[in-house]
Amino acid sequence: MAIRKPLYLGANGTPTEMNLSDELPVGNLPELTELAVPATTVLAGQWPGDVVQFDGTVWRNMPLAVGSPGAAGVDTFYNASPTLIAAGSQNLFPLHSLAKTAVTTGELSVSKTATDETVPLAAWLYDTPLGRTSLPAGLWTMSLFGGVDTVANGRLSWVTRRLFEVVVEGMSLTTTGSGSSRTATAASGTPFVSGDANPDPILAHYLQTPKGLYPIISYSSATVVTIATPSAYVNESGVAWHKWKALFATPSIAFTSISPTYMAQVWDSLQNGFTIADTSKLGAMDFHSAVGGPTTLTLAYDGNTDLSRNSRISSTMAAGQANPMTTGGDLIYGGSNGVQSRLPNGSAGQILTSNGGTAAPSWQTLTAASKGFSILMTQIFS
């Protein structure tokens, strides 16, 4: 988190950042605005194109407009409606949407009470394939807007946000058993590895079925795992499913505003790059941790054009290379202004031919004369 230092007028009359060791010239202290005071200006995740906006308490940097993450090379995903899978007896927590544009039709919220524990709060899914094979290394900025019902007796509450590659699996899934854990069996392939399983929900990978999200708590084989479920969960047979493969987790600082007076929490996480499937989607889970006594945390989303009220994720994802290929045998070439473009595979025996200048290459069939020349050259050099 970056904090602006106060300014004073230097010897040459220019604004100068003030350090603790400075001896300020008499009469050179300017009339400072709030933007120059550390207590009222908090800058974090400073993306190109950001503006500084007052959130009711302090000045913060944020994108220029709803749905506009600033300069090219930055991708932003907002916590949003609609709800994809509602909370109920069949699942552990609700699954909402991640959207490239903030929804502003009515502010919504999610809440969860924790008592000296960490509990799942909500999950969010960008339900569209990312169409890329990597997530570039760089800065991820998390923004959550929320509050708690109490901070009495020194209670602390914070959120850990986990980011996931949501893998679209190509085989069906069947669950069996009873009680608070079930056996999940994939029909084919090798979708599971031992690292998917963990008894701690904040460390486990997850399965998404039509009924909800379930942590993988133990591993049996490449096609069989055990998942934690509500005891009322009804088994599913031959359903389509996704595996939520964890990328990283990052915690916020404590929420201290008393609901419904909310505060913005903005923080950065520097990550290495990740290799993903081009059919994968992006998922996020929020976990509420509380110590010192029972505390209810509420996160708000949607419904306000003030971006500090729209929980979101910003990353350098857009700076990565999108994959224009759709079919086996495709090639990529530089199209108009160097934009990555798809060249479908040619027919058997064709050769890739340059058409000169900036024209797209193409597959061409060898003429009789070309074939004869090729044979002659082979004879000469053989």
Start and end residues for every CATH 2.60.120.260 domain found in the chain: 65-169+241-319
Where residue 143 falls among pLDDT bands split at 50, 70, 90? confident
Where residue 105 falls among pLDDT bands split at 50, 70, 90? confident
Q: pLDDT tens digit string along 146-201?
A: 999 999 999 999 999 999 999 999 999 999 999 999 999 999 999 999 999 999 98
- At the top level of CATH, the class of 65-169+241-319 is mainly beta
Residue 198: what pLDDT?
A: 95
3-state secondary structure the chain: CEECCCEEECCCCCEEECCCCCCCCCCCCCCCCHHHCHHHEEECCCCCCCEEEECCCCEEEECCECCECCCCCCEEEEEEEEEEECCCCCCCCCEEEEECCCCCCCCEEEEEEECCEEEEEEEEEECCCCCECEECCEEEEEEEEEEECCCHHHCEEEEEEEEEEEEECCCCEEEECCCCEEEEEECCCCCCCHHHCCCCCCCCCEEEECCEEEEEEEECCCCEEEEECCCCCCCCCCECCEEEEEEEEEECCCCCCECCCCEEEEEEEEECCEECCCCCEEEEEEEEEEECCCEEEEEEECCCCCHHHCCEEEEHHHHCCECCCCCCCCEEEECHHHCEEEECCCCCCCEEECCCCCCCCEEECCCHHHHHHHHHHHHHHC
Q: State the average pLDDT for the chain.
A: 80
Q: pLDDT tens digit string along 130-141?
A: 988 988 888 888
Residue 71: what pLDDT?
A: 44
Q: pLDDT tens digit string along 38-58?
A: 566 666 656 555 666 665 666
Q: Tell which residue, 194, 199, 189, has the closest CA to residue 219.
A: 194
Q: pLDDT tens digit string along 304-362?
A: 655 556 677 777 665 445 566 777 777 777 776 556 677 888 888 777 788 877 788 88
